[in-house]
Amino acid sequence: MPRPSLLSILLIAALGACTRAPYTDPSLAPDREIITQDEIEASHGGSAYDVIRKLHGNFLSYRGRTSIKDTVTSMPMVFMDDQVYGPISVLRNIPASQIAEIRLYRAWEATIKYGSGLPGGAIAIYSRLER
């Protein structure tokens, strides 16, 4: 059996490099910062905390200290229908059956949407009653 020459290997590699990757529409990709109503129902979680823990545990993660002087927590603050609702612990009191959408806002997004003082970002819960 003849061995392939270096030229033929390089030619195959060059032709392979010229092919295009399949096109994927970014608008069809799931948003990693949003948990939809369908995902909430499929998770079978009893509370908002259960749903988030099952589907996007990173929403509940500690963001680290943001300042040497400032002792403000770097955990996300919870908002319900765009109103301050409390710290992460309140997620256990929100029944999953009443939630239309859960969204994580990073610190800079939370500052734009809700104002300063949210170094850990925000978890926004939108109820089925509002939407």
Q: How confident is the model at residue 65 (pLDDT cuts 50, 70, 90)?
A: low
In 3D space, the residue among 58, 67, 53 whose CA is nearest the CA of residue 119 turns out to be: 67
Q: Which residue would you say has higher pLDDT here, 109 or 27?
A: 109
Report pTM: 0.69
Residue 63 backbone dihedrals phi, psi, to 5 degrees? -95, 0
Q: What residues contact residue 102 under an 8 Å CB cut-off, 6+ apart?
A: 34, 35, 40, 48, 51, 52, 59, 123, 124, 125, 126
Helix or strand holding residue 12 (H, E): helix 6-17
Question: Coil, strand or helix: which one is 53?
Answer: helix
The model's pLDDT over 81-109, given as tens digits with 9 standing for 90+, comes to 999 999 999 999 999 999 999 999 988 89
Mean pLDDT of 17-34: 60
Question: How crowded is residue 100: how many other Cβ atoms within 10 Å of its Cβ?
Answer: 15
